[in-house]
Structure 1
Amino acid sequence: MGKNLEICLNADDHINLVNNVKTAFKAGASRIELCGAMHLAGLSPTVEEIESAVSALHANGELLVMVRPVANQFNVDAALLKTMTNQISRAAKLGATGVVFGAIEGNKLDITVTTELVECAKHYQLTTTFHRAFDCIDDSRSAINTLTELGVNRILTNGTRWGENRNISQGLDRLQRIIANAKGHIEIVIGGGVTAQNAHSLWQLGNENVISLHAYSGVLNSCGLVDPSLINSILQTSINEQTSHD
């Protein structure tokens, strides 16, 4: 059973970015997701921001770069697709280990665009995460199957409909179904409101399947700095949960 903690960091915080990356890994995080413009739910970071994060990357740590050039939409036309593939190439050349993206048509997975994005990432040997555009899709079971077949490594979700701003605790039943439908063939990353207080119940959803938790504000102190004690608290619940199943 694999359980990892992924920390989302705001790339716009130039003053604290390097220290936050170092602190997150030192405290036990497995991965960093680097996003710009978190006030717009996360957009593609700049070259300089990626370079800063890479400079602080732990030897065994993973750096996932958001590939989302435009806010307020997940529909991808030909011009935007070209921009996204260019950003994937850029992330790889700058030292990222993975990319995060999503593409939908209405309330369905955009298979054509997603296929091209995955193939581009694979060309550069990057891991792939399909972000919370997944939470706009009506038929999640079909989307999970297709994303698995395409070779996507992870799906990020919090079990609630995108844009409804509902608490992650309101998505537990759907998260259980998503994890069950994934059947351990694709990693489910639970994010969007993860805290030290609710981590225990979220880790429990994994059972024998591969899941990760994805935390943002839940690991930051009042000054916007990554707080090692909060990371430790989330990870400790994982250790305790692992022990209870052994």
Structure 2
Amino acid sequence: MMGKNLEICLNADDHINLINNVKTAFKAGASRIELCGAMHLAGLSPTPGEIETAAKALPSNGELLVMVRPIAEHFNVDAALLKTMTSQITRAAQLGATGVVFGAIANNELDVAATAKLVECAQRNQLATTFHRAFDCITNSRSAIKMLTNLGVDRILSNGTHWADNSNVMHGLKQLQSIIADANGQIEIVIGGGVTANNAHILWQLGSEHLISLHAYSGVLNSAGLVDPLLINAILQRSDNEQSKHD
């Protein structure tokens, strides 16, 4: 399994290239797409039309994860926002998503009550769940990992640095090692935030004995903003090389 689960974040606002980008990503070996609108705001919920478009281009074995983040300002979820998010989760399922990506925190700790309701809604709609980089705002990551695992969340997205720092994943290697150790194979750790063909071989090694995947955005785009199969191949090939060393 190691080295095979590559998740590609796609900008849903790029309507002209969306279908081709989805098809190219999977053809080149990606396992999943994370669909986000408003990437200039670090990714918000895409529109129903964008979800439908991406779902139609999905191969039978491909996963389509939909960002559920209605507002950019913060990760606090009040009752009104929770209602919006659960309705977006249900809508995503109806439109062909296989998973959703969300986060809810309060005072730099996991908002257990809101997260539980979001997970429950997703599971009711048979969707996989990823807790996004709101995780990287949480003070006590070990405790959060345990709670997210207990809530039945499938994956946690992190790059090992504080969300507000806007730092490259390579600055978070030590923290990622701790996170992966704390997860102990009970919950998948998705490593993202600066993943490229140049650093993938180091990142794959972090998960040689644990459940991890990589998440790339700009690292798989060419100068025209299109998904480049050669860059995806390079990220996956690095992992294949590492795998052969362990075999």
Output the amino acid matched with 2:203.
Answer: L
Tell me how far apart the structure 1 counterparts of residues 160 and 133 of structure 2 sit (CA, whole Å).
10
Corresponding residue for residue 213 of structure 1: 214
Q: Does the alignment pair 1:128 with 2:145?
A: no
Corresponding residue for residue 48 of structure 1: 49
Deviations 1:23-46 (A, max 9, x none): 000000000000000000000000
Tell me how far apart the structure 2 counterparts of residues 148 and 237 of structure 1 sit (CA, whole Å).
29
Tell me how far apart the structure 1 counterparts of residues 12 and 217 of structure 2 sit (CA, whole Å).
12
Tell me how far apart the structure 2 counterparts of residues 181 and 243 of structure 1 sit (CA, whole Å).
26
Corresponding residue for residue 110 of structure 2: 109
> For residues 146-165 of structure 1, what are the structure 2 equivalents within 5 Å?
146-165=147-166
Corresponding residue for residue 168 of structure 2: 167
Deviations 1:110-165 (A, max 9, x none): 00000000000000000000000000000000000000001100000000001111
Corresponding residue for residue 32 of structure 1: 33
Tell me how far apart the structure 2 counterparts of residues 19 and 72 of structure 1 sit (CA, whole Å).
31
Output the amino acid matched with 1:106.
Answer: N
Output the amino acid matched with 1:30.
Answer: S
Corresponding residue for residue 238 of structure 1: 239
Corresponding residue for residue 99 of structure 1: 100
What SS is found at the alignment partner of 1:204? helix
Aligned identity (percent) is: 76
With the length of structure 1 as denominator, give the TM-score of the two structures.
Answer: 0.99
Q: Which runs of 5+ in 2 are unaligned?
A: none
Tell me how far apart the structure 1 counterparts of residues 169 and 127 of structure 2 sit (CA, whole Å).
29
With the length of structure 2 as denominator, give the TM-score of the two structures.
Answer: 0.99
1:243 CA drift (Å): 1.1
Tell me how far apart the structure 2 counterparts of residues 72 and 215 of structure 1 sit (CA, whole Å).
23
Q: Does the alignment pair 1:20 with 2:21?
A: yes
Tell me how far apart the structure 2 counterparts of residues 50 and 141 of structure 1 sit (CA, whole Å).
33
Output the amino acid matched with 1:58.
Answer: P
What SS is found at the alignment partner of 1:163? helix
Output the amino acid matched with 1:158.
Answer: N
Provide the aligned length of Structure 1 versus Structure 2. 246
Corresponding residue for residue 62 of structure 2: 61
Moved over 3 A (4+): none
Output the amino acid matched with 2:10.
Answer: L
Corresponding residue for residue 90 of structure 2: 89
1:2 CA drift (Å): 3.9
Output the amino acid matched with 1:11.
Answer: A
Output the amino acid matched with 1:135.
Answer: D
CA contact (8 A) 2:2 2:208 kept: no
What RMSD over aligned residues (CA atoms) do the two structures have, in Å? 0.6
Output the amino acid matched with 1:80.
Answer: L
Q: Which moved more, 1:132-141 or 1:158-167?
A: 158-167
